Homo-oligomer: A and B are copies of this chain.
Amino acid sequence: MAQQDSSLSAGVPELLILKLLQDQEMYGYEIVQAISDRTAAALTPGEGVVYPVLHGLEKDGALKSRRKTVNGRSRVYYTLTAKGAKRLSHLSQSWNTLNDAVQAVMGARAHAV
């Protein structure tokens, strides 16, 4: 049973992966490092997280992949499909709603103390 919309299971890795792939074509190993880099290592989902998400998204038609060999290395590049774009905007929306709700209870203050 596909998970509900208002789920508390964040699905953050999926969100980030979709976003990265919206901006540019990338391959799995690259994504793992990109997330770590762009979040200043605050988030470091490993390969054990990223690859399964990638496979799941492709299976659902949210991503398309193609093999490419660079410097004798075989890489699997992923790109966003229309369905994936929809899923991204949707997930992104959910994240904002969740965050707003949390802030509402926590005192609704902007961070940065």
Majority SS of interface residues in chain A? Answer: helix
Q: How large is the interface on A (under 10, 10 to 19, 20 to 34, 35 or more residues)?
A: 20 to 34
Chain B, residue nearest A45 (CB): B8
Name the distance in Å between A73's Cβ and chain B's nearest Cβ: 25
Which residues of chain B have C-beta atoms less than 8 A from A106's C-beta?
Answer: 15-16, 19, 92, 95
Which residues of chain B have C-beta atoms less than 8 A from A24's C-beta?
Answer: none
Which residues of chain B have C-beta atoms less than 8 A from A19's C-beta?
Answer: 105-106
Q: Do the beta carbons of A105 and B6 come within 8 Å of each other?
A: no
Q: Do the beta carbons of A39 and B8 come within 8 Å of each other?
A: no
* A63 close to B (CB within 8 Å): no
The 9 closest A-B pairs by CB, nearest first: A39-B101, A42-B101, A10-B10, A43-B101, A96-B111, A16-B105, A8-B12, A38-B105, A42-B97
**Interface residues, chain A, CB within 8 Å of chain B?**
6, 8-10, 12-13, 15-16, 19-20, 35, 38-40, 42-45, 49, 92, 95-102, 104-106, 110-112
